[in-house]
Structure 1
Amino acid sequence: MPLSKRFSVLRDPVHGDIYLTHEELAVLDTRAMQRLRGIKQLGMTHLVYPGAVHTRFDHSIGSVHMAARMIEAIRQNAEMTPRECLGVGEEEARIIRLAALVHDVTHIPFGHNVEDQTGLFRRHDTAYRFQRALDEKGELGRVLERFGVRRDVVNTLLASEGEEEAGREVPPYWSQILADTISCDILDYLQRDAYFTGLNISVDPRVVNYFRIERKSGNLYIDLTKRELLREDILSEVVRLLEARYYFSERVYYHHAKVAAGALMARAVELASYADLVREEDFYDQTDASVVDLLERRAERADTVTKNRIRHLTGCLRARRLPKRVCVFPRYANVEVQEELVERTFSPGAHKERVAIEERVRDLVRFSTGREVEFLVYCPSAHMQLKEAQTHVQWPGEKDIRPLSDYSASVPRLADLERSYRDLWKFYCFADATDTDLLRKVQEIAVAEFPGAKNVYRIEEAPRLGT
């Protein structure tokens, strides 16, 4: 019996029993996949929610499980409506499952902070990173090549990230099952993140049952119709999933302490990179724990000032001495200057301007107080949006499938959710100090760096012990 037909069962705390083929187990046993056991799914979130120590390895297995559930539902729906819908063949399912299994293999430790915030490294989802990780010269690539699926898996992953050339090589639904706006990826990580953070958020995977593939376009969609009537129950399940995604963004993904910890790591990597102590490639085989050790070892080669700054930053991470907020510029108070703030500090190529701002504030604080302070700026993308609302649906009375967001006027909860998601945007300034007077001085200097922007954060007196 071929390995693709033989299954073993793993017990997962979120989904229960998960069945993996022996091909998939062989992929899991490669060094590249085993490394993911050391990459936390939520980065620094465990410093806020201690239970959030689940890994990208766990999530990779869960994604295969949810892909299998989606494929099963698609097949059942295709049997009921064969003229309108496509099914998923056995060989297709094999490729999609393997692609789901390896979709996170390019992640580096704290990658969202290091890649997005510093702008120094290529993002994990670029063609270069996928092609390098799955190159047939490497162990993982050789395993996939031996199974005869490497090229299809690579093209599926590239298509899921918008690579047009790869998208022409595979059917649209291969990549959409993997990474569409509602996909096996989000259907696993929302449930997994809820379980390990301990947040009481219900994510009902029942929505999986309504996935179909449109025969004429090959696109994945959710059918919201029955006898030309709107299925309010299915629509409600979709919106509840979007509400869960928003809730996690508010409570977990953009929690200020998680952001502060990520900014510390990004600064340590930045200092090491500017001093030619590390390169992007040095991070490809690292874990969360080993990368901190790497930075500390490489810091020994640097000049005294750089060495001490890097070791101070990694020491803060190890001891959870997180920098404090000194300024918060939320979108609701800064709509007119939001684009300017992003352009100065977050846009491609802007990292040098951001570093110049940070060093200038640091110098001014030293000049006016005689104190050394690390000053950190964090700016998310201006285009924070509820991308899951872009999932395609069949709406009653409509001939073609369209993004759910096109029907916001008919779904008030959706419109409110999209506005709330945009208003999550906050521009932060942090300083690694605890003295209230020093923090206020940093705030005064920082506010002057961003004229026209409104800071809403007030620095309170630190509570005294015993009071």
Structure 2
Amino acid sequence: MMAAPMATRKRYSVMRDPVHGDIYLTHEELRILDTPEMQRMRGIKQLGPAFLVFPGALHTRFDHSIGTVHIAQKMIDAINLSFDLDPARGIKISDEEARVIRMAGLLHDVTHIPFGHNIEDQDALFRRHDSAYRYERMFSKETPLGRELEALGLREDVFSVLTKPGTEGRRDVPPYWSQVLSGTIAADILDYLARDAYFTGLRLQVDERVHSYFKIDRASGNLYIDLAKHDLLREDILSEIVRMLEARYFFSERVYYHHAKVAAGALVARAIDLLVREKVLFEDDLYGTTDHSVLDVLVRAAARATPETGATVRDLVDRFRTRRLYKRACVFPAYENEAIQSELVNKYFAQDGGQARALVEGRIEEMVRFATGRSVKVIVYCPAKEMQLKEARIHVRWPGVQGVNRLSDFSERVPRLKDLERSYQALWKFYVLCDSSDRDVLMKVQEVAATEFPGARNVYTVAPGGS
């Protein structure tokens, strides 16, 4: 890291990033990067177990956090340039505001736990990483990070940017402070789309001009993209926005919900679920862990569990470490199961569905053992019904319409937005996974599952030699 010449009196250092090139960080930001809480992020992969499918996907939330600061600054510069060109219509972001926004961008993912999207979003075992409880704990004066933020006078502002309105202890801040960082199109997604594409090797180009489209509405304080020029629709800008949303869907389909990534995450999530139910593992136990160390935590907790649970957890962890994933026996996608999807989710999703999952898994295992003489383990995997839905929440100024409104309000005028919404909903899949790769066993699991989930339509055909 070397000093970088800057026009202002502020001191910056430069970091070389493979995605964005040189990224400039203030010395305050470097102080925060050096805290144990931020250094832990070097051990949490941005895409969780996706590296088992895409070997290059080893980038971390530490990298992404720095990239988010870089994109946030580019957006701030564009917003301020737009203000200079037309001061009557917008708002300018001051240096002190930029200081807060950048720091919040650096810290927006610091509350993540390993495999968090599997454990929190898809299985709902714990509170989400962006819950107020997580941030309160992370920014507490009892932590090195909290003390550094307090010393910089940023603790309250950063907490307020990263938590939702109405949160206890949160003060009102301008909407655009948060919107620069999170939303349909913001610094977070602009970095991770480019970063995920780079490290998975998938072809995706994000037009950097998108950074220059942002403005702040003086009346509401909302960040928005101006789609109007001379009372005409800026179709080039609209197309670029939709193209980015299509890219997000493309990655959801190809990477974020790849079946092997789902199966790998299901192993870890099931191990945690079993240990939590026996009260030998708690949410707080995972806060200081990394992708590597959390597996050791699970094995140690397994030693305190019942012998059966302990053996199951050790097997699940070993399978993850050696990439011996459970195989697909059944796949029940949303597009073939609209009539029964809600029933499946209500019965089998999240912790509330744990008992129902255990019962049906036990029946399937017992009937397969009776029919084939083979002992198998089954995981019924049911994600949240709305886990894929990504509404177009970015605000826009539409020609002929007063003020700024959410882009989703104009979906009837942009058919591709409607198509994307339907496509996201169709990504939902209910799985029955099995620890055997034997085709006859998998087909027997299919046969038994058909009786356990009447009305559900499986679309998966077991290939010779297993899935």
TM interval, shorter chain, is over 0.9
Matched to 1:227, the amino acid is H
Counterpart position of 2:328: 325
Structure 2 CA distance for partners of 1:396 and 1:164, relative to 1, 3 Å: farther
SS of residue in 2 equivalent to 1:389: coil
Counterpart position of 2:369: 366
Could you tell me how far apart the structure 2 residues matched to 1:4 and 1:333 are? 61
Counterpart position of 2:205: 202
Could you tell me how far apart the structure 2 residues matched to 1:439 and 1:403 are? 47
Counterpart position of 1:193: 196
1:278 shift after superposition = 1.2
1:304 shift after superposition = 2.5
Counterpart position of 1:104: 109
Counterpart position of 2:163: 158
Question: Once structures 1 and 2 are overlaid, which stretch shifts more, 342-351 or 319-328?
Answer: 342-351
Q: Does 1:134 align with 2:134?
A: no
Counterpart mapping for 1:41-440 below 5 A: 41-159=46-164, 163=166, 169-346=172-349, 349-384=352-387, 386-440=389-443
Would you say the 8 A contact 1:118–1:270 is kept in 2? no
1:168 shift after superposition = 5.4
1:378 shift after superposition = 2.0
Would you say the 8 A contact 2:123–2:383 is kept in 1? no
- Report percent identity of matched pairs: 59
Structure 2 CA distance for partners of 1:89 and 1:355, relative to 1, 3 Å: farther
Could you tell me how far apart the structure 2 residues matched to 1:287 and 1:438 are? 36
Would you say the 8 A contact 1:204–1:241 is kept in 2? no
Matched to 2:29, the amino acid is E
Could you tell me how far apart the structure 2 residues matched to 1:5 and 1:180 are? 30
| TM-score between the two structures when normalised by the length of structure 2 | 0.94
1:398 shift after superposition = 0.7
- Any idea what the Cα deviations from partners look like across 1:48-81, whole Å, max 9, x if unmatched? 0000000000000000001101111111111122
Counterpart position of 1:459: 462
Counterpart mapping for 1:13-24 below 5 A: 13-24=18-29
1:165 shift after superposition = 5.7
Matched to 1:266, the amino acid is A
Would you say the 8 A contact 2:41–2:62 is kept in 1? yes
SS of residue in 1 equivalent to 2:59: coil
Would you say the 8 A contact 2:327–2:433 is kept in 1? yes
SS of residue in 1 equivalent to 2:58: coil
1:98 shift after superposition = 0.4
SS of residue in 1 equivalent to 2:339: coil
Matched to 1:190, the amino acid is L
Would you say the 8 A contact 1:182–1:388 is kept in 2? no
Could you tell me how far apart the structure 2 residues matched to 1:171 and 1:432 are? 51
Could you tell me how far apart the structure 2 residues matched to 1:117 and 1:400 are? 36
Could you tell me how far apart the structure 2 residues matched to 1:287 and 1:168 are? 32
- Any idea what the Cα deviations from partners look like across 1:136-171, whole Å, max 9, x if unmatched? 111000000000010010011003xx5456775111
Could you tell me how far apart the structure 2 residues matched to 1:292 and 1:164 are? 33
Could you tell me how far apart the structure 2 residues matched to 1:112 and 1:213 are? 31
Structure 2 CA distance for partners of 1:336 and 1:168, relative to 1, 3 Å: farther
Structure 2: segments with no counterpart, 5+ residues: 1-5
1:356 shift after superposition = 3.1
SS of residue in 2 equivalent to 1:376: strand
Question: Once structures 1 and 2 are overlaid, which stretch shifts more, 269-278 or 283-292?
Answer: 269-278
1:341 shift after superposition = 1.2
Structure 2 CA distance for partners of 1:16 and 1:215, relative to 1, 3 Å: same
Could you tell me how far apart the structure 2 residues matched to 1:163 and 1:443 are? 47
Would you say the 8 A contact 1:4–1:22 is kept in 2? no
Question: Once structures 1 and 2 are overlaid, which stretch shifts more, 377-386 or 276-285?
Answer: 377-386
Question: Once structures 1 and 2 are overlaid, which stretch shifts more, 295-304 or 7-16?
Answer: 295-304
| TM-score between the two structures when normalised by the length of structure 1 | 0.94
Structure 2 CA distance for partners of 1:262 and 1:405, relative to 1, 3 Å: same
Question: Once structures 1 and 2 are overlaid, which stretch shifts more, 261-270 or 14-23?
Answer: 261-270
Structure 2 CA distance for partners of 1:163 and 1:107, relative to 1, 3 Å: farther
Partner of residue 26 from structure 1, selected from 31, 37, 59: 31
How many pairs are equivalent? 461
SS of residue in 2 equivalent to 1:105: coil
Would you say the 8 A contact 2:380–2:433 is kept in 1? yes
- Any idea what the Cα deviations from partners look like across 1:167-188, whole Å, max 9, x if unmatched? 7511111111111221110000
Would you say the 8 A contact 2:302–2:309 is kept in 1? yes
- Any idea what the Cα deviations from partners look like across 1:271-296, whole Å, max 9, x if unmatched? 22222221111100000000111111
1:385 shift after superposition = 5.0
Structure 2 CA distance for partners of 1:388 and 1:67, relative to 1, 3 Å: farther
Could you tell me how far apart the structure 2 residues matched to 1:351 and 1:70 are? 44
1:441 shift after superposition = 1.5
Could you tell me how far apart the structure 2 residues matched to 1:125 and 1:29 are? 22
Question: Once structures 1 and 2 are overlaid, which stretch shifts more, 225-234 or 188-197?
Answer: 225-234
Could you tell me how far apart the structure 2 residues matched to 1:432 and 1:32 are? 36
Structure 1: segments with no counterpart, 5+ residues: none
Could you tell me how far apart the structure 1 residues matched to 2:48 and 2:301 are? 22
Matched to 1:127, the amino acid is A
